[in-house]
Amino acid sequence: MQDLHTLPIFPDLRGKTILITGASSGMGAATARALAHQGARVGLAARRRDALENLAAEIRATGGEALVIPTDITQEAELEAAVARCRAHFGQLDGAFNNAGTLGRGAALHALGNQDYQEVMGTNLQAMFWALKHQVPALLAAGGGAIVNNGSVVSQVGFAGASLYTASKHGVMGLTRAAALEYYPQGIRINAVLPGPIDTPMAVGGFGGHEQLEAALKTLPPGRPGQPEEVAAAVLFLLSRSASYISGQGLAVDGGYTVQ
Ligand SMILES: NC(=O)c1ccc[n+]([C@@H]2O[C@H](COP(=O)([O-])OP(=O)(O)OC[C@H]3O[C@@H](n4cnc5c(N)ncnc54)[C@H](OP(=O)(O)O)[C@@H]3O)[C@@H](O)[C@H]2O)c1
């Protein structure tokens, strides 16, 4: 794990309220910790309340502010309520990291069914639409803000055995680009991070174990899986005013995976 103290400090993030979906694990949890370290106030959304409570306790123990918001993002009303809870608790919403996602079942396209489609597209793309739909008015009310969506290297390239996941993450990039154009004039920047294989429960599960993940990456450009904190660092930058002229972009955080 990268030491939080080695991350650059973005002074404008201090006091900002940021909603993070998928905060119970992996990149979401790492980004919540990193944002809290910057002095941001974080809304922690995911289904597993216990994991969120543990993270909130850890953040509060270091002087940070965190709000636990149990949320299933496949339910529009719950995402809408998560935004409302952040606003009610912290006074306003200044940004979001729309990070929650699912890999779905690894299988060839012809072996997938409508249930797979609903699970993957519902979690990764439909919920991304709902998140943006309900966050944008809150950010407009705050006078502007920034949103970072979690895409993937497969927002740009294909991956055999993950057709629905690939389609959903291409969709995330499409939503990011169009929404960025719609709202930049109103002071909202919307970007995506496009991580390569990152050492989280999702990737470890997808590759069939930690050793398999390490082995699979030995011969690919990064040579190793990325750490969640390496993605968090990119999210901090994109949420901060240091990225004030950057919108609609997908920032690959992949150790060169997509430029091979
Ligand atoms: N790891 C990689 O190699 C990799 C690479 C590129 C992109 N990504 C993307 O990065 C994001 C984060 O994944 P991760 O790698 O950090 O995996 P992770 O550790 O498994 O975390 C996934 C998170 O998504 C949340 N989530 C899933 N379905 C949800 C739902 N219906 N409602 C609310 N929250 C839900 C989970 O929380 P609960 O289970 O508590 O609900 C969990 O916090 C995902 O969008 C993923 O597609 C991952």
DSSP state string for 155-175: GTS--TT-HHHHHHHHHHHHH
Give the distance between the most distant pair of CA atoms in the chain. Answer: 51
Expressed in angstroms and rounded, the spacing between residue 91 Cα and the centre of ligand 1 is 27
Whether 2 is covered by a domain: the verdict is no
112: domain CATH number is 3.40.50.720
Confidence of residue 187 (pLDDT cuts 50, 70, 90): very high
Whether 149 is covered by a domain: the verdict is yes
Whether 121 is covered by a domain: the verdict is yes
- Condensed to tens digits (0 to 9), the pLDDT of residues 81-129 reads 999 999 999 999 999 999 999 999 999 999 999 999 999 999 999 999 9
User: 84: how many CB neighbours lie within 10 A of its CB?
Assistant: 14
Name the phi and psi angles at 17, rounded to 5.
-105, 120
Expressed in angstroms and rounded, the spacing between residue 185 Cα and the centre of ligand 1 is 31
Whether 259 is covered by a domain: the verdict is no
pLDDT at residue number 100: 99
**Residue position matching structure tokens 């850890």:** 58
Does pLDDT of 1 surpass 60? no
pLDDT at residue number 5: 79
* Atom 36 of ligand 1, residue of closest alpha carbon: 22
Cα-Cα-Cα-Cα dihedral sign, residues 34, 41, 76, 148: negative
Whether 53 is covered by a domain: the verdict is yes
* Alpha-carbon gap, residue 250 to 230, rounded angstroms: 15
Nearest CA among 167, 242, 24 for reference residue 251: 242
- Give the count of domains, the chain: 1
Q: Which domain holds residue 29?
A: 7-254
Whether 260 is covered by a domain: the verdict is no
pLDDT at residue number 234: 98
- Judge if the beta carbon of residue 123 lies within 6 A of ligand 1: yes
- Condensed to tens digits (0 to 9), the pLDDT of residues 133-144 reads 999 999 999 999
Whether 46 is covered by a domain: the verdict is yes
* Atom 8 of ligand 1, residue of closest alpha carbon: 152
* Average pLDDT value over all residues in the chain: 96
Nearest CA among 123, 75, 78 for reference residue 99: 123
- Condensed to tens digits (0 to 9), the pLDDT of residues 201-241 reads 999 999 999 999 999 888 888 899 999 999 999 999 999 99
- Judge if the beta carbon of residue 81 lies within 6 A of ligand 1: no
Whether 55 is covered by a domain: the verdict is yes
Mean of pLDDT values over 163-182: 98
